[in-house]
Structure 1
């Protein structure tokens, strides 16, 4: 590939792809670390439910955008 514009384009895409995967991994870890039902040490409340539902709405919107 000798076209510098094309190379910059592909480099930018690769960087954005890596950033997206990293963010998804971070979000996955955050969700995994949320309190679990039945855990008396870290009990869930309606705020947790609302936050998780809000996250689900945002993720669904992103999914619709890329589908």
Structure 2
């Protein structure tokens, strides 16, 4: 196996892992309490946590967008 093959295998593995993590994160966000749900009412802690997640995701997006330039 050449070094190029090793690099491509490692990249493919990391790519699959990233997609899996994104899918897991998507499911987690989908499962968060929804506004108007009396059984699981939202509070300011939920708002803060979701805003923090949005900031982190925006930073990741910015990082990867700058790699494409």
Unaligned runs of 5+ in 2: none
Shift of 1:36: 0.2
Shift of 1:15: 0.3
| C-alpha RMSD of the superposition | 0.7
Residue 52 of structure 2 corresponds to residue 50 of structure 1:
no
Shift of 1:4: 1.1
| TM-score (norm. length: structure 1) | 0.95
| TM-score (norm. length: structure 2) | 0.92
The SS at the match of 1:40 is coil
| Equivalent of residue 13 in structure 2, options 4, 15, 21 | 15
Shift of 1:40: 0.1
Query: After TM superposition, what 4+ stretches of structure 1 lie above 2 angstroms from structure 2?
Result: none
- Could you say which residue in structure 1 is the equivalent of 2:32? 34
The SS at the match of 1:17 is helix
How many positions carry a matched residue from both structures? 65
Unaligned runs of 5+ in 1: none
